[in-house]
Structure 1
Amino acid sequence: MKRLMELRNRALYCSFCAVALLLCSTLVFAGDIVHQDDVAPKRPGCDNNFVLVKVPIWVDGEEITEFVGVGARFGLTLESKEKRANQIRVSLADPPDCCSVPKNKLTGEAILVHRGKCSFITKANVAEAAGASALLIINNQTELFKMVCEANETDVIVGIPVVMLPKDAGKSLKLSMSNSSNVSIQMYSPHRPLVDVAEVFLWLMAVGTILCASYWSAWSAREASIEQDKLLKDGSDEFLSKEIRHSSGIVDINILSAICFIVIASCFLLMLYKFMSHLFIEILVVLFCIGGVEGLQTCLVSLLSCFRWFEPAAECHVKVPFLGTVSYLTLAVSPLCISFAVLWAVYRHVSFAWIGQDILGIALIVTVLQIIRVPNLKVGTVLLGCAFLYDIFWVFISKWFFHKSVMIVVARGDGSGEDGIPMLLKIPRMFDPWGGYSIIGFGDIILPGLLVAFSLRYDWLCKKGLKAGYFLWAMLAYGLGLLVTYVALNLMDGHGQPALLYIVPFTLGTLIALGKTRGDLKHLWIRGEPDCRSCAHVRLHSDEKQPSKM
């Protein structure tokens, strides 16, 4: 049975570790926006802040849909309240690019134009001179474009609001205008709160997940150490003590495997970027459900086994085809876990499906952190260092090679018809008028969580107190690093940020600096165990060899 558990745990580890590394960025999006601020900086008359703009569409006095655009660097600023925004009738430009005086008369109407040969400023000046009260420019691509002033344009004075809509929104609006002669719009830009409650709950969720997983991992390590002490005290061979650890299903990663994980994750990420489709998302959903079922089952069985009412069911086993020997408790829990995952997969598009996704995701993360262990600080440094570079490359540097951020495109699920891939914890933004979700990738919890769990195992084996140990400071460092990530996210106007860019220096730097100060760095770096004088099972082994020193 133990051998079966080991193989099953190793399969879980191999299947999901690379996938968990797939998303290592905390990402919050309001849309993909292209900009040219580097070639056209702010100057008088062209110094508006870029804002997202809500554009409700009214047909024959009834609101039918709402689009999201982006305001220009120039022009009149928009109202922030919907009730203060006036309804404006929309007309098509003639010519469509509005690079010359329109043939149709505009009396306070909003004019809908296409991107053409002339500049945005020229379009705005022509539309304003013709009597238009607003200018809507349809982009020639699906994303939004930040409209700036060109370098040779000076003394910019535009007295009407200018907003860009994505290509699909413009197409839909034109279709509505062709079917009805009475189409009007509103334009307003509500302010986004500096901090949303969703970010607070997501921070607590991530920190709490690592906290629970770390204590479970340390408790398992202490139980294994006690069992090993008993064998050594009885004079058992050292090989038996190693076999206990090996058969427990725990996997200690090494430097080579840490590097391989990053390489595999990069290849998988690039494959998803190139071949992203609805089918790929469905495959990821199936993989996520399998891992979620395994994680939820493991967590529930371990939790219920702590109660004496379930001890008989946990200790009695039966052979099951294709599965081998399993406990009665596992057989009772498994159908519930499978049903829960299937229900989430079927109804994952409903508004409250994020709850099921978070439950499955947390169970999977906790189980992975209990199975996979960092043996010493050297391996942890290599793993987090590689993940640190991985995160930065695929969020920022990949734009230079692929013209888009690969990590952002994959996380958002572009081209798949889905809201994003399931390997995320997410909470809807509750007080944000723009809606959306605050999300965090599994990698941002699993990777630093491995190091935090290692620090708690070290403290327990060394019998260190909370303040004198490393776990408390590692947890504080992780929480602070994640907090800084959200601060940077808000300062960057909601654009995706690589979370490990902030989390890794905080957690890894804290452990290295603290270990150096306390003189434990050598043991943390190489052995991953306390000094022989304070490690119980090593002391017992030493005492047996030298009884005269007792």
Structure 2
Amino acid sequence: MAASHWAYTILFFFSSLSLAASNSSSPFICRTTPQQVIIKIWVNGIEGKNIEGLGALFGGILPIHEKEGIRLPAVIPQPVECCSNLSSKLSGSIAICQRGDCDFSTKAEVAQSGGASGMLVIDNEGDGLPVMDCPHTKTLNISIPSVVVTKSDGEVLSKALACEKSSVELLLYAPLRPVLDMSVLFLWFMAVGTVTCASVWKGLIVCDKSEGSYSQLLRKESLETDEDDEEIVEINMMSAVVFVITASAFLLLLYYFMSSWFVWLLIVLFCIGGIQGIHSCVISLLLSKWRNLGKRKVNIPLFGSVSIFSLVVFVSCFVFTVFWAAYRKASYSWIGQDILGIFLIITVLQLAQLPNIKVATVLLCCAFLYDIFWVFLSPEIFGNSVMIAVAEGDNSGGESIPMLLRVPRFFDPFGGYNMIGFGDLVFPGLLVAFSLRYDKQKKKGLANGYFLWLTVGYGLGLLFTYLALYLMNGQGQPALLYLVPCTLGTFVMLGLVRGELKDLWNYSLEDHSPSTSSSRQSFTDRVDCASETNNIEVRGPLSV
């Protein structure tokens, strides 16, 4: 009897488990995670642009694959809020309901009682999507799937339905997103590679001056012209604070007055900077290896004698940039945008330099607070996250700000891009470049220097950023929140452990240079060895 009793107990236990498992997918059970939904649209049989939505925690579960979904007509019910009994039947259709005042579960019950096979709610807020949660005060008996879409996507759908002669059909499905898209790794390598390349760029364009006569001539010319050629902007504490204040004012300007013409102005400035960046980098790199490229010249009105090589490079850069601007909305335009952006960042990091850790601390801490405030704290004041709203291009007429590197999500069925702003490369990049200059001046190796560890710290900071994005379900993250501690914190801790923090804090390149002539010679070795001999300026597209 005892054995029989235990057998029945075990059988009842496993039966309960199987019943619970079967009921876990029941539409009457509240789920804990909403489905991310793709909505395919057909207007008069012509397929339009897909929109995205967020599934409810109650009701039916949408299929994972598109082929398993059912194409159904969309209908605007009366009343449009779906908060009370409908005046007409919606048999076999998807009810398009406005947000209204009642809760989501009430809308779903009304739509289901009217015969609808699904419900799509148009939100009335401009930022983000609400979670359609289960009410705790009543038992639900909802079997139809429910989805909420943003106000902007809903307006497009409502306009199509407003036409009497138009027929709108929808297909809803919820594909699974990959845990890690390869575009994240690609963007990580791109960002770390750009910062590293910009830091070591001057070492890449060093000339081979094995010929004695050439070296003597170059040294003589350098002493006369290096002050005009080396246009280095050394950042000080005041300019660091002013820069962050100016950036905040410009961000607010974009937020309140964002329009297509404003974004077009930024696109034009980006193109000018991209042309300058590519031209400068290509000229300096190629002339450092092949000095004879710049000897042949041609006379151009208003510009005088110009190197044919410099002119050809400039025209090529101009054509490339115009092509990108003309096709900036094409699926492949991200390649051109990234190329222009990378060369622009490299050029900026050659022109701007940090003198010591004291200035770096002020600049990066201000940028740290700037990033956190405009992403996380600005919604408390302005109602929306100002940084995210500007980055997403709200009210920009379909245009997007180009001051970022982006890579499409190749394996994500929802598409989109992984992006990183220029500031997330430039601010830490200034510190990484300074660490390399300090290591060279102090004749430090990789292991006992700072450059290697700051590069590793920058890479780890980016990894933490992407990890936070994943853990917070794609909510926008201020990258400098993770990059500043991983770079500046690493620098300060290493300096403290090695007893060099005081020197780093008050460091100045002029104070540590052996002589003025050696400093000038160092600059000549880096950049001007080719341009001085061939009378070519690497700073501008056309040089006289």
* 117-126 or 364-373: bigger deviation: 117-126
For 1:263 and 1:242, the matched residues in 2 are separated by 38
* Cα distance in structure 1, aligned partners of 2:490 and 2:152: 49
Quote the residue 1:159 is aligned against. Answer: 143
2:332 corresponds, among 352, 363, 382, to 352
Q: Is the 8 A contact 1:218 1:453 kept in 2?
A: no
1: CA distance between counterparts of 2:302 and 2:360?
Answer: 36
Q: Which residue does 2:76 correspond to in 1?
A: 92
Amino acid at match of 1:94: Q
Match status 1:410 vs 2:395:
no
User: For the Cα contact (< 8 Å) 1:523–1:531, is it kept in 2?
Assistant: no
Which deviates the most, 344-353 or 90-99?
Answer: 90-99
Instruction: List aligned pairs for 1:291-306, cutoff 5 A.
Output: 291-306=273-288
Distance 2:447 2:479 in 1: 27
- Seen in structure 2, the aligned counterparts of structure 1 residues 527 and 485 have a Cα distance that, compared at 3 Å, is same
| Cα distance in 2 for residues equivalent to 1:371 and 1:220 | 15
1:7-406 equivalence runs, <5 A? 46-58=30-42, 63-141=47-125, 145-149=129-133, 153-174=137-158, 176-177=160-161, 178-179=163-164, 183-217=168-202, 244=226, 247-308=229-290, 311-314=291-294, 327-406=307-386
Contact kept, 8 Å, 2:207 with 2:289, in 1: the verdict is no
Alpha-carbon deviation of 1:529? 5.4
418-427 or 367-376: which moved more? 418-427
Go from structure 1 to structure 2 and tell me whether the alpha carbon gap of 1:113 and 1:85 turns closer, same or farther (over 3 Å shift). Answer: same
Secondary structure of the structure 1 residue equivalent to 2:269: helix
Q: C-alpha offsets along residues 67-105 of structure 1, whole Å, 9 cap, x if unaligned?
A: 322212332232221122223343332322222222323
Query: Once the two structures are superposed, what CA deviation does each residue of 1:478-527 show, in whole Å capped at 9, x if it has no partner?
Result: 00101111111122212211110000000001011011111111111111
Residues 144 and 404 of structure 1: CA distance in aligned 2, closer, same or farther (over 3 Å)? closer
Which region of structure 1 is more displaced relative to structure 2, 274-283 or 167-176?
A: 167-176
**Distance of 2:360 and 2:307 partners within structure 1:** 35
Please give the secondary structure, in 2, of the residue aligned with 1:527.
coil
Q: How far off its partner does 1:163 sit?
A: 0.9
**Does residue 462 of the first structure (1) align with residue 442 of the second (2)?**
yes
The CA deviation at 1:242 is 13
Q: Alpha-carbon deviations, 1:299-340, whole Å to 9, x = none? A: 0111111223xx134467888776688655433322221222
In 1, the alpha carbon distance for the partners of 2:346 and 2:274 equals: 10
What is the alpha-carbon distance in structure 2 between the residues aligned to residue 461 and residue 219 of structure 1?
Answer: 17
Letter of the aligned partner of 2:446 in structure 1? L
Query: Equivalent residue for 2:16?
Result: none
- DSSP-derived class of the 1:187 partner: strand
Deviation at 1:50, TM superposition (A): 3.0
What CA distance in whole angstroms lies between the structure 2 residues aligned with 1:252 and 1:269? Answer: 24
2:425 aligned with 1:448, yes or no?
A: no
| 1:92/1:333 CA distance change after superposition, 3 Å | closer
1:510 to 461, 468, 490: 490
- Are the structure 2 counterparts of residues 268 and 221 from structure 1 closer, same or farther at C-alpha, using a change threshold of 3 Å? farther
Q: Out of 492, 508, 522, which is 2:472 matched to? A: 492
Structure 1 residue 203, shift from structure 2 partner: 0.8
Secondary structure of the corresponding residue to residue 305 of structure 1: helix
Read off the aligned partner of 1:483 and give its amino acid letter: L
Which residue pairs with 2:401 in the alignment?
Answer: 421
Name the residue aligned to 2:416. 436
- Give the aligned residue type for 1:216: W
Are the equivalent residues in 2 in contact too, given 1:254–1:379 (CA < 8 A)?
yes
Q: Larger radius of gyration, structure 1 or 2? A: 2
Per the alignment, do residues 106 and 351 of structure 1 end up closer, same or farther by CA in structure 2, a change over 3 Å counting?
A: closer
Which residue number in structure 1 is paired with residue 23 of structure 2?
none
| Secondary structure, aligned partner of 2:468 | helix
Residues 30, 134 of structure 2: 8 Å contact kept: no
Amino acid paired to 1:139: D
Distance in 1 (CA, whole Å) between partners of 2:121 and 2:154 is 8
Residues in 2 aligned to 1:152 and 1:197: alpha-carbon distance in whole angstroms: 41
- Paired letter, 2:389: V
Tell me by how many angstroms 1:241 deviates: 8.8
**SS across alignment from 1:145:** coil
Whole-Å separation in 1 of the counterparts to 2:504 and 2:298: 42
Q: Deviations over 1:23-57 (max 9, x none)?
A: xxxxxxxxxxxxxxxxxxxxx95544233311223
Query: Is the partner of 1:186 in helix, strand or coil?
Result: strand
How far 1:394 sits from its partner (Å)?
A: 1.0
1:359 is matched by which residue type in structure 2? I
2:462 alignment partner AA:
L
- Corresponding position of 2:462: 482
* Distance in 2 of aligned mates of 1:519 and 1:67: 57
Between 1 and 2, higher relative CO (CA 8 Å, sep ≥ 6) is seen in: 1
Deviates more, 1:403-412 or 1:73-82: 73-82
Q: After alignment, is 74-83 or 170-179 more displaced?
A: 170-179
In the alignment, residue 339 of structure 1 is paired with which amino acid?
V
- 3-state SS of paired residue (1:390): helix
Q: 1:170 to 1:248 in 2, by over 3 A?
A: closer
Gaps of 5+ in 1: 1-43, 224-229, 542-550
The residue identity in structure 2 corresponding to 1:514 is L
Q: Which amino acid letter does the alignment assign opposite residue 86 of structure 2?
A: P
Residue identity matched to 1:453: A
- Pairwise CA distance, 1:470: 0.7
- TM-score, scaled to structure 1: 0.79
Question: What is the alpha-carbon distance in structure 2 between the residues aligned to residue 447 and residue 490 of structure 1?
Answer: 24
Tell me: CA distance 1:516–1:123, structure 2 relative to 1, closer, same or farther (3 Å).
same
Change (3 A) 1:127 1:305: same
1:523-534 correspondence to structure 2 within 5 Å = 523-528=503-508
Show CA shifts across 1:368-413 (max 9, x none). 1111111111111111111101111111111111111111111122
Tell me how far apart the structure 1 counterparts of residues 107 and 227 of structure 2 sit (CA, whole Å). 72
More displaced stretch, 131-140 vs 267-276: 131-140
Which amino acid letter does the alignment assign opposite residue 491 of structure 1?
Answer: L
1:471 and 1:150 map into 2 onto residues whose CA distance is: 53
For the 8 Å contact 2:260–2:399, the answer to whether it is kept is no
Task: Tell me the TM-score normalised to structure 2 length.
Answer: 0.80
- Partner letter of residue 341 of structure 2? G
Q: Distance in 1 between matches of 2:266 and 2:409?
A: 25
